[in-house]
Amino acid sequence: MWNCRAIFKTCVGMLIAASPAIAGDLAEIEAKLTEKLGQIQSFRGDMVMTAQIKEPVKVTQKMTGKVAGLLADGKYYTRQEGKSVRTIEMGEKPQTIEGDMLNVVDGEFSWSEQSANGQKAVMKAKPTTSPPLGKDYLTKLRDEFDLTRAADAAVEGAECWVIEAKFKQPRQAPGPQPEKLVLFFRQNDGAMVRTLGVLPDGNTLFTMDYSNIQLNPNLSASDFAYAPPEGVKVVDRTAPPAPNAASGPAITPTSAPSGGK
């Protein structure tokens, strides 16, 4: 005769064994992660960003390049530089635009420079997030995000703690904007290896992966200095928006925290 209780317990055990790690309380890992982040004052390495929006026009984008970050004298600095390929699917023939991208946080402002088809555009804004450096990183995140712990995950074979950071206020910027960031921290040293930007409908707007990262290289604030190219108009997002300002479809990932593999 079948032992229903034993069968039930066996099935539950199999389900648990086959399931991914269950999300726990953020407090369980916060002290460990904070200690590891406190040991990271700078980094640099490679990055790959992929992004996609579907409405009102389907746009996909991929950027490959270099990334660096620094915490010095209480200020945060980041630099992302690389090549970008953007494809716009509108009409019968998709349009592909190749260009250069440079994003810099100079300790005060965030600068975004894009070059394509012989033209340059520069946008100035206030930094939205800080890179994962220093023991106060999670505390600073809480100024803008509600934090929860998600299930642990492996990235390129490395076990990671995963934290979801949901914006407390909607982002004010052109184009679709993420509702939350999903941050992957490597458990052995606290380095961030992946960032996801997730839309309100649950779809992923962008993914940023980091590799070949050096922790605590010799960097200084001068490595993150930026001046707009001469003659290029700067769109200043730190000022109040102009009345009836139009905004077209664009992929503008948040200045997401950067870390590495």
- How many residues in the chain? 261
Which residue type occupies 140?
A: K
Give the chain's mean pLDDT.
83
- Domain contains 92: yes
- pLDDT at residue 234 is higher than 60: yes
256 and 177 Cβ atoms separated by less than 8 Å? no
- pLDDT at residue 229 is higher than 80: yes
151 and 23 Cβ atoms separated by less than 8 Å? yes
- Domain contains 249: no
- Domain contains 169: yes
Query: Which tokens belong to 172?
Result: 């004010």
- Domain contains 16: no
Tokens 């790959």 label which residue?
48
More confident residue, 81 or 15: 81
185 and 35 Cβ atoms separated by less than 8 Å? no
- Domain contains 107: yes
**Residues sharing a CB contact under 8 Å with residue 103, sequence separation 6 or more, in sequence order:** 78, 79, 80, 81, 110, 111, 112, 113, 255
pLDDT of residue 175: 72
- pLDDT at residue 42 is higher than 70: yes
CATH number for 47: 2.50.20.10
pTM higher than 0.85, yes or no?
A: no
- What range does the domain containing 76 cover? 23-236
Strand partners, 241: none
Arithmetic mean of pLDDT, 31-44: 96
Tokens 């019968």 label which residue?
92
- pLDDT at residue 103 is higher than 80: yes
- The CA-atom distances, in angstroms, between 166 and each of 28, 51, 200 are 19, 19, 10
- pLDDT at residue 13 is higher than 70: no
- Domain contains 4: no
Count how many domains the chain has.
Answer: 1
**Residues sharing a CB contact under 8 Å with residue 122, sequence separation 6 or more, in sequence order:** 111, 112, 113, 114, 228, 229, 232, 233, 234, 235
- Domain contains 243: no
- Domain contains 258: no
111 and 123 Cβ atoms separated by less than 8 Å? yes
